[in-house]
Amino acid sequence: MIRKVKRIVALLMLMAALAAGFFLAAVYTGAFGPLQSRADLLDIQHARASLVYSEDAEIIGRFFAENRTAVKHEQLPPHLLDALIATEDARFYRHRGIDLRSLGRVLFKTILLNRTEAGGGSTITQQLAKNLFGRQGRGALGLAGGKAREFIMARRIEKVFDKDTIITLYLNIVPFGENVFGIEAAARRFFRKPAEELSAEEAALLVGMLKANTFYNPRLFPQRALGRRNVVIGRMEVMGCLTSAQADSLRSLPLALAYEGDRAENQAGYFLARVRQETHQLLDSIQHLTGTVWDLETSGLEIHTTLNLPLQQHTVRSFGEHLGRMQRILDDQYRSPAARAALKEIVTAELKRTGLDARAGEKRRQWIFDWKGPYADTLTVADSLRKALSLIHAGLLAIDPHSGAVRAYVGGIDHPTHPYDQVHARRQLASAFKPLLYAAALEEGIRPCSYFDNDSVVITDFTGYSPTNHDRSYGGMYSMAGALSHSMNIPTFHVFLQTGFAPVNDLWTRMGFSFPLSNRPSLAMGTAEASIFELTVAYAAFANGGFLVEPYLVESITGPGGELIFRREPPETKTRLVSGNTSLLIRAMLEKAVNNGTAASIRNRYGVDLPLAGKTGTSQRYADAWFAAFGSDLVMVSRAGASLPSVRFQYGGHGSGSALALPLLALSLQKLQQDHELRHRFFSSFPPLPTSLATSLECPDFREKSRLENFINRFRDTRVTFEQDSGSLPRESLFRRIFRRR
């Protein structure tokens, strides 16, 4: 019996030895991942980020697989090294990559006695191997194979590099969450300083995060991070790196974060997102043509863009100045009982529409945008939605009207928390549409001094629709130029009737708008929808003599060795949208709007004295506000409004185009005009109109009707029929029009 047991035990031991042998053979043959040789280790090269430059050669962003910046060993403060070694690998300088004592502790305390506070057994060198080369395979066997591979690679690393190099490599690649890798990037992210300037308590906080990046993220979970930091300080005290008095003093300090996030995300995040998209398309085209493959995140490219950094910074600051104030006004509005109840109904409807009503009471930790500074908070789903819906969103695009080069691009209020790009969001244009209608009218031969009725009119076949002016005024006659500069709706409706739908629709289509127009009377008031991007292209035609431009962001791309990969070339031909005379006349009319029309506040309130033409727009019930303007070499369009039309300001003093959207440009231009170089680059004086065109504008904006016209009006029928096929009124004889009964 004993002999039989011995044979079984021997057989089991043999089988175990064979299994171990096969397992080790599998590890060495690369079944769980390749084993790097000494030469491979000496040639460790991390992926190189691609750098993005503004047009004035400033770095505005990086594209990378991992946000990593390397530092040298001498740049690492001693207390950082002490914190890391005391917490992660107390015997770092006494082992050769594998710490058998720590492994024994893990076996007996952590596994057998289930004491998780005993810690893990991986050395810093093993963790470096894991971070450098990763793990392959899943399940228990994959875990065992990965561990064995790390053991082997840890020993090889120790043979190739000294301890200082190993710990420096580790700190340069270790992950800190938020796609941040390495101590340098982490120090700048959480404390706005380089790693060499970290204090002892800051170093302890970052080392503490290594246990669980998200769980101990000080931005999201400050109390957890504080507790973990103090654990690290305690380990430093036990190891003799700190005295008891020093440790107690450090533990009493608050977190004192100086969270920066990604600086490029804050000033040009939406622009960089579009640059990434455009560059990918360009690299795909290059690969298709030449077969050369470039990786945007690892090839170390240099991408030179069209962005004018000073102008971009002016616009970003203007967003903060203006929208921060307007957001406080809107928040105050929704604090009244009636408005609060209305907002609650909107939130309830949205929860039901999105299928989140069953989860309305669930709480979650999240990063919340605020103009005073982002912060982390725990909110229910319903409260989070309420806060999101009551935010004012906005976008602004500025381009060179001659080339299409994008000079400023603000796609929203905060890219990290609200990445949806408002520049490409489609909203109702309101009066910002009118210059397109008037351009079509000019192309049809209607002249700027043609006068149009301002008396009330009712459209009988559209449920009694009746256009009204924004100031509720009636009577008299407006010239076409005066109607546009003062944004009068009733005369504009008559311009539409005389022009017809087909010319307007044709121009709209050729300008590249994606929204299909509907031949309805309200089209004249701007019920068509478009994006900031599309409207900027349209207004560029009024600034450049009537031609279509295609906005672009990337000027050139060079490789890591300086070789030219791509350079933007101007198009060989241009597509004409409107005649040169039409573009000049629209410009002159919109100059009137800026100087003494609906956009005059940019002059008399904000003191902008640049040569400028522009148009405001306010959609129904102040749901969206627009302002589009241009100078000789810059077109700028802004729009602002909440996510839903039902969330809006109650009064035009806050929600109109001149109150909500115009200041975004006005504050930017205030700053721009103080910069001599920018002022003369983008806003040289408009050339005077040719004599033949100048005389065509020499008429009053408004005139009273003559006695004959008033007499005829007594017999005029204020009800008209709108012909959808042509978009114009039926032509009648003079006799019938004079003596037609009411």
CA end-to-end span of the chain: 123
SS (H, E, C) 184-238: HHHHHHHHCCCHHHCCHHHHHHHHHHCCCCCCCCCCCCHHHHHHHHHHHHHHHHH
- What local confidence, expressed as pLDDT, does residue 560 receive? 86
- What local confidence, expressed as pLDDT, does residue 144 receive? 54
Decide: 448 and 589 in contact? Cβ < 8 Å.
yes
* CATH code of domain 393-555+576-703: 3.40.710.10
The model's confidence at residue 737, banded by pLDDT at 50, 70 and 90, is: very low
Res 685 pLDDT > 90: yes
Task: Mark 678-695 as b/e (b = at least 16 C-beta within 10 Å).
Answer: bbebbbeebeebeeebee
* DSSP structural state of residue 114: -
The model's confidence at residue 625, banded by pLDDT at 50, 70 and 90, is: very high
Tell how strand 426-428 and strand 635-641 pair up: unpaired
Place of tokens 């695009």: 397
As a whole number of Å, the CA-based R_g of the chain is 34
Res 67 pLDDT > 70: no
Write out the DSSP string of 646-661. Answer: TS--SSHHHHSIIIII
Place of tokens 């962001």: 553
* DSSP structural state of residue 36: P
150-170, pLDDT tens digit by residue? 777 778 888 888 889 889 988
Given this structure, which CATH class describes domain 70-251?
Answer: mainly alpha
Predicted structure pTM score: 0.77
- What local confidence, expressed as pLDDT, does residue 452 receive? 94
Instruction: Find the mean pLDDT for residues 640-652.
Output: 95
Res 33 pLDDT > 60: no
Closest alpha carbon to 661 in 673, 678, 649: 649
Tell me how far apart the alpha carbons of residues 447 and 454 are, in angstroms, rounded to a whole number: 17
Most confident of 12-26, 209-223, 339-353: 339-353
Res 263 pLDDT > 80: no
Q: Any idea of the CA torsion for 500, 502, 504, 507, to the nearest 10 degrees?
A: -150
Alpha-carbon distances, residue 65 vs 36, 41, 49, 319 (angstroms): 22, 21, 8, 31
Of 177 and 142, the structure prediction assigns the larger pLDDT to 177
- What local confidence, expressed as pLDDT, does residue 711 receive? 61
Write out the DSSP string of 314-379. Answer: HHHHHHHHHHHHHHHHHHHHTTSHHHHHHHHHHHHHHHHHHT-GGGTT-EEEEEE--TT--EEEEE
Of 321 and 145, the structure prediction assigns the larger pLDDT to 321
Q: Any idea of the CA torsion for 173, 178, 179, 184, to the nearest 10 degrees?
A: -40
Instruction: Find the mean pLDDT for residues 478-496.
Output: 95
Of 630 and 369, the structure prediction assigns the larger pLDDT to 630
The ranges assigned to domains in the chain are 1-31, 70-251, 393-555+576-703
Instruction: Find the mean pLDDT for residues 365-382.
Output: 88
- What local confidence, expressed as pLDDT, does residue 741 receive? 30
552-590, pLDDT tens digit by residue? 999 999 998 889 999 999 998 999 999 999 999 999 999
Alpha-carbon distances, residue 601 vs 325, 425, 647, 661 (angstroms): 18, 27, 25, 12
Alpha-carbon distances, residue 326 vs 98, 300, 650, 671 (angstroms): 60, 42, 13, 20
Alpha-carbon distances, residue 493 vs 443, 454, 496, 715 (angstroms): 17, 10, 5, 21
Of 105 and 374, the structure prediction assigns the larger pLDDT to 374
Instruction: Find the mean pLDDT for residues 500-526.
Output: 96
Res 131 pLDDT > 80: no
- What local confidence, expressed as pLDDT, does residue 99 receive? 73
Instruction: Count CB atoms within 10 A of the CB of residue 227.
Output: 12
Place of tokens 């350079």: 567
SS (H, E, C) 430-474: HHHHHHHHHHHHHHCCCCCCCEEECCCCEECCCCCECCCCCCCCC
Tell me how far apart the alpha carbons of residues 244 and 234 are, in angstroms, rounded to a whole number: 9
Res 45 pLDDT > 70: no
Residue 675 region, left (φ>0) first, then alpha (ψ -120 to 50), else beta? beta
Res 634 pLDDT > 50: yes
- What local confidence, expressed as pLDDT, does residue 714 receive? 59
The model's confidence at residue 730, banded by pLDDT at 50, 70 and 90, is: very low
- What local confidence, expressed as pLDDT, does residue 734 receive? 39
- What local confidence, expressed as pLDDT, does residue 18 receive? 55
* Mean pLDDT score across all residues of the chain: 86
Instruction: Find the mean pLDDT for residues 284-311.
Output: 92
Instruction: Find the mean pLDDT for residues 292-319.
Output: 94
Instruction: Find the mean pLDDT for residues 384-400.
Output: 97
Instruction: Find the mean pLDDT for residues 245-255.
Output: 94
- Classified as helix, coil or strand, 256 is coil
